[in-house]
Structure 1
């Protein structure tokens, strides 16, 4: 009798499945979609929108990376400056003599023009009143002394670069101002991993969906579908993250060598990352801007002024007593200060002549690639992991909530 009842139940189940097979088949498909969509939404929430959308402070959203731009940038720069590249090493690659050669011509032209303009400002006609041989001697001294002055400045700059240039402030400042670039750095670093994140969610959801279908066939309890939806959204995030970063080092599993997807791509990621940083953040032009306008630029200005004033004294040479007598000792001191200040304003333009030489000498791209490829897995993991760690619980909660809501919708469809 019990056997006949069991047979009748199986027959009823079979009839139900045959009659409603499209609905049953939809369960794993919808579950796979939940797994995929929740991951895509999670990735989008990491990077978008760039600026807050909604009603502050609670009703709205801003991408995790742009919202925590300063912290994200600081994390990336800490790795960059402590493990990949040293600002001292960079500037030590610049040869003072070669630097002097590259900017000698624009500085010499500026020096001649400024000296004449300042002299005319304090004592009209004084330059033209100088004997021709005196003018020639001053010009010759300018030509001789400009390279030496530049060499002395570069030598002091290289010796005290850590006191004169805050490279972390420069990079973090640029990234905070340009959140699109910050997003791009993290996206380019892990673009394949982000795509895998969605694909993995699809397959995890598909497998769990089959179990969801079997459970519904036998029990048809309304809580089953939202519970599975919540479970898919919740667990697939964790599983996908594990596959991205674990195991850290290659291992043999059932005869196959496995390693976290991101870690297994270290060589390619290093190449892409090094190229992006060298082309967008650590260009010679940005280095000069950071050096001349950063928080330590006052110290650099003092160094430049000291050397320029010394150069002015040397370049005036034997004409100094004549000039000082003609304009007065006090005015002569003011003239030196005015020349120094005017020359400082010429430095940003003159230093651009260094860009081609500096790019080749610094060789930032190859340095970053080589150093990054040699990182230990524990260090390399930190290139991308901060993006996932920041507010990870929010992303998982959103995935779980979306899965639960879709499950409730499924219940409505299945029972009606």
Structure 2
């Protein structure tokens, strides 16, 4: 579920074509706000994806999540009802929960009184609501959970799901979807800082560029069906690739307002640990999907981490999120989807809009789709507050 495409193949075609989904906000009147653009998921009709009984109890983010989960299960060819009881679960990542639902019920509370607040407010706003609703709809009664690590969440959810597979679960639905494009959510985005104040969609979000001035917020993400490779092979499942390595580290800033710099950034450590988990060396990585924060300090810090790992211009680097904006918990999950499809099609998707690479970012930034021999991809993600996560995706079904 992405601002530049609904469904896997439509989105992937848009990514390879360099088609951006960033544009003027339409979900509410943003005329009085300093930032007026975002990456909105367009063309999603709730009633096409959900039964009417679910509409009163779900936020937009949950509706997007339910649709993504249904498509992932259909694509996997797996019928959860045919599995042993308690052997299928859900782990999702979330940063905002049902923010728009919460705003609506708060408005009812203060304008009309408590008797007008929906009983569904008790759970529809919650971070774990996507996990819960997916589990209920598909009868997934196995181990489930939610992680809240902002932009790093999509990778952390996959790692948690992998642990459940190793403990004996047959399948896990995992990944992340986020959406907080409403006035209350927008106030939080603005207060958090980091948003570009440039309202030209082609010049607002420019990671690694000399003109980088912040990021653009988007909504959406991706969900996956994760299972052990032998089980997938046994049932003839289509495999997009293997989740072969993961690690997470944490940066502890001196103060909340301290900008991220190369000093003290442990992103490179996360990548090294993920490579060790995968049993690979830096020379085995054929493409990096960057976190691409879009601020000068954070971009320089990530470039320094990449240079420390691979050397200057040592590996192709891309940031397809320049076509969607940063999707909070959905961002890294969508990058995993891009990495898997890159491995499938042997092509590196482009970074759009970045034109003038900064001198302190000596990386091989891919700006047009580039055919390449791809075996292993590294996905990097950083969440607000010091979270660093790294994942390695590999071509083929893998041994484990």
TM, length-normalised to structure 2: 0.22
TM, length-normalised to structure 1: 0.21
Between Structure 1 and Structure 2, which shows a larger proportion of strand residues?
2
Larger Rg: 1
